[in-house]
Structures are given as structure tokens and as C-alpha cells.
Structure 1
Amino acid sequence: MGEVTRGARALVVCPDIRGMAYDLDAQSRLSEAEGLALAIGVVIADSFVLPVRDVRPNLLFGAGQVDNIRIACEQNEAELVVVDGALTPIQQRNLEDKLARKVIDRTGLILEIFGERAATAEGRLQVELAHLDYQQSRLVRSWTHLERQRGGFGFLGGPGETQIEADRRMIRQRMGRLRKELEQIRKTRGLHRERRERAPWPVVALVGYTNAGKSTLFNRLTGAGVMAEDLLFATLDPTMRAIALPGVEKAILSDTVGFISDLPTQLVAAFRATLEEVTAADVICHVRDISNPSSAAQKAQVLHVLRDLGVIDGEGEASIPILEIWNKWDQLDHEDADDLAAQVEANDDIVATSAVTGEGVDVLLDRLGEMLTRNAALRTFEVAAGDGRRIAWLHAHGEVIEDIEAEEGGSTRLITVRLNPKELGQYEALA
């Protein structure tokens, strides 16, 4: 989006406004804001909660608090300030003037993440639409400031009120075109089930609340079993990797944007669109930070979104198998770990892991292999010896038990292979 430079040193400030109702306590919100900032690749120089007794319309914070933020920026050499709250355009402009640094609020921060993670056409359009809506309201700032600080879509030009009006009109026109494109995509989009059937390899999607350790687990899993095919990676999204699982030669592990509380209303559609790929998964892994006191509330939010996406029906039944991963097990004290271990032991749909130490990862891989091969059966195919395409497909997608000549010097081969119903359907659909 052009707002934030990866590797920038950031100061994260969480305003705790008196009288405002929050889903989480101040410390949990600060931790969440840190997770969001880390998700866009900035370095957190310092972070703190700042109590706000009375909201100042021009700055949000009091003058003394703004001075304290500026001093903290100088001491920590921070070039970016992340405010975990919604800033009005005036507040954002005035804070940037007072702090002489780039300031990004919660909405802008989430837009940055969505912009990186949107993998589908609808997701990218929804994110751009939300960004333009956000940007449009920020054209009230002085033009010298706008030229220095903003931009990103290439049409913001020289100074003057006339130029601002022209840019507002261009933004409105672009938003109108985006809405038409989105409507067309919705009309022509096929069923998710059909897309799942066409996928060449099974897909495992990681979902979870922000800061649950999804990305760390993603890196742990792909680092342990990355397929040595550089060509494959060139065609995959940065948040998708090929992994090997027991009984499954190749599967795609997909990381998704983290779920969050208090999502700004105008971003809800963009958020759901970035998660559209989840509905095309063969297995969903719900990663939970089991050491977090708010873990149960976070789980409820994740399930609520999965219900909205149609993955879970009104009866609570899931159309796609869901495996719960109780992550950060190493951060539990012994008493809590003992209490929770009994639940893990009694439930095949829960695996305890620590993405940092690697504890439980082998069990997780085994469980995923079991889930993906649960309905697999041995089948024997007679294939023409010269039909390299079918022979290669069976070796690439199934677990080949035997591959022999049907008869000595014969023109056909007998291939015994373990395939699940999805793979069998794909094989039979080969032209």
C-alpha cells in the first residue's frame, strides 16, 4: 500500500480511553497491536499503554502525552508510530506534524496486512476498495504534507484545492469501477467445492487469532519438510508452501491473515474476502495460543467468522475437517499443562504443540497425514506403458504400492496405488 517500510523501527501505542467498552483488557490489546505490527514486517522499538481520560479532537492524546511519545521515539530511534485505535484525518495529520514521524492507525495497519495477504481476485479488489475509502477521507490534509507522506496508487499530484477535488473525483470513479468488478466476480465465481476438486494437491489452511503463533508454526512445518522444487515455489503465494506428510507425498500449507477483535466496519468485507481461500481447503488447522487468558474468547471469534464463511453450519457442523492446534504449550505452567493434557488426550481433533521448541510437531504431521488419507483405498489400474502422463500422475499424487508390467514384454502396466476419493475423481477426469 506504500504506507510502511519493512524493517522500519516502530513505537506501538495503545490508547486506553476512559469509558470506552473493549473486548479485551489493555495489556491484551497492546499484545495484539504488537502482533499486527510484526505482521507487516516492522521492528518494534518500544510499546506501551497510554490512558486517555478525555479524547482531544485535534490530537486524541493530551499535549503532555504527545511530548512523551515524541521523546520515546527519539530514545528508541523509532521512525514510525502505530496507534492502536481509529484516528481521524485531522488527528493523524496533527500527530505527524507534532512527532515529525509517520503515524499509522489501527485501520491503516490492518489494511497493510490485508494488502499483503489477499490472494484472490475478490480479496485484492475488496482491499483496494477499503484502502481508497480510507485514503479519500485523508485528502483534507495540507498538500505539502500529502506530497511528503502519502501516495501509493500513482494519481496524487501537485498542490492546490483544485487538485484535491480532482483526486477525490478520481478516487470515487475508481471505487465505482471496483464495485462493478466485484459484482461481476461474485456472479461468475464457481462453487468452492469445484475449485477444491480441481486442486492438484490437498490444501491445509492455517487459521487463528493474531499472535497465536501461526506464522512461527508455518515456518517450523515448512522448514522441516520443504519440497526441493524451486519451480513449484515460484508459482506459489509467499504464504503457501509445499510440505510432505505421512502417506501424502505433497500437500500445500496455506497461511492466512490473523483474526482480530474490534475490526473496523469498513474492513469486514475485505477481511472475509482475504479468507476466501480457506473454503477451498481440505483440512483447516485452527491455531490457538493456549497460554493466553483470552484463548476461549479468541476461539469464539474465529468460529464466528468460519460460520459467516459457511464452513460451519447453524448446527455447529463443519463442512471441512477442523483440527485444533493448542500452540505455545511451552508457555504453560505445569499445573495448567496437566489440566489441559487430559483434554488433548481425549480428543483426536486437538494437538498440543510449541512452534518455538518443535514439541508436538511430529504428532501434528502424523495427524494431518491421517486426516488427508482417512478415506484412501488401494486401487489397481491397468495403464498403457506409453501413457507417461497417467503413470506420472499416479506416482505424483498417490502412494504407489506396486508398479509392474501386466505381462512380460506387454504394452500395459498394473499400478496399485492408494488414493482418496478426491484423487480418484481427479485421475478419472484426466483426458
Structure 2
Amino acid sequence: MTAMNDGQQGATVAVTADNGMSGVKATAGTEAPGIAELGLYLLVFMAISWGMMFFIPTPFLFTVLLPASFYVLYSLVVFSPLVSGGWPFAPPLGSWRPGQSWLKPGVGTTALLVAVAIAGPLFTSTIYPRIPLFPVGFWWGIILFTVTLWYSMVWNGWPLNQKCSPAVRGIGGGLIILVITALLWQLVNLSGTPFAGAPYDPRGPFQAEWFFGLLVWIIVWIQAFSNVLTFQQWPYYKLGEPWGQIANTAAAIVLGWLCWTTSLTFMGPTFSFAAVAGSIIGMQNFHGAIFGYYPFQKYSQPKRGICNFVTEIALAFVWIALLRVLMQPIVAKVQAAGLPFDINVVSVLYTLHFIALLTLIHNFYFLRAPLPPSGPPPAPE
């Protein structure tokens, strides 16, 4: 079974399906986990994530680790099957082979993620664009994260994925993402912040905090029509490359802009982008990456996507209500530290920079041990 149909030639996730994941699953030798086991799996990572946010010193967490975590999100995707095919250590195209320990891809790739999380902020704070890690690093980081998802989930790593080795896909794709991020940074201006007019202020057309919210809403639609989540690029894969990706990109930008600007007429900015959009992004990730579109995997697109999307939106509002309770002790620590984060922003950081990040690292690189490894998504049609 391939992850993409014939309209998406060369998609890295299709290569994932055809080159080794069956061997990974065979190595596990056990049946796929049931919905109860997967629910417990999510609860375990929710608890770990909550504990990390509560016990890590709050100023260090919010002013150093969280801005740097955008580079973990970036490298997580670059070294995943979505871009490099898992190179250099993870399946299906890395050095791991069936019968070897899951510690090899897990520890090896985690070390790479840590290295990038150190090198990336050092580069952006000392070389280009020479910005403070906090809070300006958040505004740079959201651009980096958006471009990473766009390149991997909309463009499927094209055109490197069609012709190049896994190493070139990973290194070349990572460089493409960084260059586009640097170009988009020029659209930002820091007016209305204490950093307006600083040497690193690009003085572009979009105010930084407003642009942050816009990009979060664009991510909602990037993921909705991505190659591995919700609609699995339906209907854009029918257009072929690169026209399908161009149309997909345009739709994500327009729909993201409409959601952001419309929502601001009846709700606050952080509730819009952090609580609502951030929770939808989280539910898209959990529903697809952890629960495998349950219970709609039996349908084909677009019915599967419609059912997925409605379910993910409903779950997002349940999630918002749940985090209003769970995040109170952490919000109290943030307020005591005098940091400018409300419960909406704390909640989205918990959802995406902890739970989603940790579960994806465990899924991609630690092969979901001790549960059986997950395979590629079912074909759209």
C-alpha cells in the first residue's frame, strides 16, 4: 500500500511505504495497537509534557528552550520520512535495518535534533539575522516551522525527492527551507514592539505579532490538505506536479488569511491563533499520526477527509476546555515569572512543542517502542 496515488509521483512518503516499513512492522512481530492502547499512549506523553513544563525552570523554558524548539520541529521533519526518508539513521532510507535495535535511530537522530537546536539559535542570534532568541526568536521560528511543513507536506520535498539520494534530500531540503525562511523574514516589521527600528528589524509590510497569527492559521490548512493528514492532498494530487502544489499553497494562504482576519472580529488574537488554530493543528496531528484517522480509515477521500476534519475541529474545542484546567498551575508559574504568555499561548506550546514534538520523535525515530512501529497512511483512494 502506498501513501500517495499516481497523481503524486516521487512523494517521499510513497517511497516510505515501498522501501522498508513492511520490514519494520515485521520486526515488531505483534498486532497493531488498539484504540485503548493508543489513548493510553497519548495520556503518557501528555503527563510527561506537563511535568516538563511544570518542573523545568520557567524563565529558562520560555526564553531559551521554547524559542530553540522551533529548530527541533524543523529538524524533526527534515530527518523524517517526509523529507530525507529517515536518513541518516531511521527507516526506511536510513542506516537502520530490520532486526536492529530501535535505540540506533532513536538515540542517533535525537542527538542530531539536539545539535540543530543548539546550532540554529546560535546562527540566528550571531550571524543572520542576528536577532535576540527571546522574544524575536518566536517570530522567526514560526516562519521556519511554517515553511518546513509547507515544503514537506505540500511539496513532498519536490523536486529533490524524485532524483536525489536520501542525504541530498535531507541536506538540500533543509537548506531550501532555511533560504525561504530568510526571504520571508523580510516581510516582517517589528512595529508595536520594543524592538521596532532595531538593526535586525526587516521593516517589511506585516507586523510581527499579526503575521505570527496568520502563519498559525495557514498551518491549519497546510495540514488539512497535507500529504499525510486529514485530506491527504485531495483534490490537489489530481492536478499533478507542480500545479497541484501551487494550487494547494494558494488555498492554504487564502483560507488561513480568511480564518485569521474573520476570527479577529469576534475573538481575541491569542484565543484565535493559539487556542483555536493551535488546538486544531494538534488534533490533526494526534488523529493522523497517533490514531491513524480512526475510525475513518475505511473510507476513501474525500469522505475520509470530511469526517476527519469535522472530528478534529470538534476535538479541538474539547481540548481547549480541558487545557483550561490542566494548564492553570503552569500559567501561574508563567505569571509569577512576569512573562507575557496567557493561557492560550501556554496551551499551544504544551500541545505542539511538547506533546506533538515528543510523540513524533518517538514515532519516527524510536519506532514507537514498545508498541509496534506505525506504517504509512492508507492510500487516499
Instruction: State the TM-score, normalized to the length of structure 2.
Output: 0.22
**Structure with greater contact order relative to length (CA < 8 Å, sep ≥ 6):** 2
The structure richer in helix per residue is 2
Largest Rg, 1 or 2: 1
Q: What TM-score, normalized by structure 1, do the two folds share?
A: 0.20
